């Protein structure tokens, strides 16, 4: 998903109306959904909530980034999900490609989190195998909360030392990258019970294969992207899993779907 901070900040969730098509059709204020999301969020032991976007013809990108498919309501829904989460997980490549800055929720979401006794912002967890990151990358240098960087045992030692100045670097996998199961175990150890994964497709594929996605929140843009843009995931053939529809929201021509993954 594209970082909402690359778009003008919505004026506030409660001013944004969406059509809930299922269940219980009605026009609802977006902010009304937050308490339900908080109550229904899967525990870290069950897996993460994954949030992605796609065009009608299955592309996860337009002109190389997902942001071209998004909308103000879609961005506000991402902020809402982030406001409920303890930790937001993003692959290093997606952070660079989508132009993430320091991960912050909106002012309204900060106020809500304070009322819940939470920190102002969730923790950003960066997944990186080769640690081809810089301490001055905006998503690290501008982070309001010290980020986590999750990697494997083959990560370069010099990069670990450099990045430790701006983030906590955690080895969570025996190999070139972080293992999804080990990542969730690390979150549980830290008391991070609500996990939001924003991809990208490579991360989502690995997490689906490892059974670490409990829900998929997929926005379907009313657009045909064409071209050779990648899909939201590209896992192994023959690994289809059932998904139960939990909610359908509509904003104009965009549908925002929520599924429980079997």
What confidence tens digit (pLDDT) does each residue in 84-98 have?
999 999 999 999 999
Which of the 8 DSSP states describes residue 155?
S
71 contacts 7 by C-beta, under 8 angstroms: no
Confidence of residue 80 (pLDDT cuts 50, 70, 90): very high
Between CA 26 and CA 22 the distance in angstroms is: 8
Which residue ranges form the domains of the chain, and what is each CATH number? Answer: 4-234+242-261 (3.40.430.10)
- Model pLDDT, residue 183: 98
Geometric angle at alpha carbon 74, from 47 and 102, rounded to 5°: 70
Question: 99 CB contacts (<8 Å, ≥6 apart)?
Answer: 3, 6, 65
Q: What percent of the chain has pLDDT over 90?
A: 84
Question: 120 CB contacts (<8 Å, ≥6 apart)?
Answer: 105, 110, 113, 114, 144, 145
Confidence of residue 229 (pLDDT cuts 50, 70, 90): confident
Q: What percent of the chain has pLDDT over 70?
A: 92
User: Does 172 score more than 50 pLDDT?
Assistant: yes
What confidence tens digit (pLDDT) does each residue in 153-164 have?
999 999 999 999
75 contacts 53 by C-beta, under 8 angstroms: no
Confidence of residue 2 (pLDDT cuts 50, 70, 90): low
User: Does 124 score more than 70 pLDDT?
Assistant: yes
């Amino acid at each position: 998903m594209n970082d909402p901070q690359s778009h003008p900040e919505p004026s506030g969730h409660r001013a944004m109306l969406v059509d809930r098509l299922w269940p219980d059709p009605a026009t609802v204020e977006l902010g009304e959904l937050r308490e339900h999301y908080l109550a229904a969020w899967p525990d870290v032991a069950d897996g993460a909530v994954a949030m992605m976007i796609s065009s009608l013809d299955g592309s996860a990108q337009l002109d190389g980034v997902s942001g071209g498919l998004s909308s103000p309501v879609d961005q506000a829904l991402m902020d809402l999900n982030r406001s409920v989460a303890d930790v937001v997980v993003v692959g290093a490549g997606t952070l660079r490609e989508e132009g993430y800055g320091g991960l912050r929720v909106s002012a309204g979401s900060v106020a809500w989190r304070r009322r819940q006794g939470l920190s102002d912002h969730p923790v950003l967890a960066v997944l990186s195998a080769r640690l081809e990151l810089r301490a001055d990358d905006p998503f690290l240098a501008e982070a309001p909360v010290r980020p986590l960087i999750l990697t494997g045992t083959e990560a370069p030692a010099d990069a670990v030392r450099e990045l430790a100045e701006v983030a906590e670097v955690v080895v969570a996998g025996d190999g070139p990258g972080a293992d999804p199961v080990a990542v969730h175990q690390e979150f549980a150890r830290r008391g991070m019970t609500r996990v939001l994964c924003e991809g990208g497709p490579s991360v989502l594929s690995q997490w689906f294969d490892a059974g670490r996605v409990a829900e998929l929140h997929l926005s379907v843009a009313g657009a045909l992207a064409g071209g050779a843009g990648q899909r939201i995931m590209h896992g192994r053939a023959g690994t289809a899993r059932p998904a139960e529809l939990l909610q359908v929201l509509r904003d104009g021509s965009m549908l925002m779907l929520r599924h429980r993954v079997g």
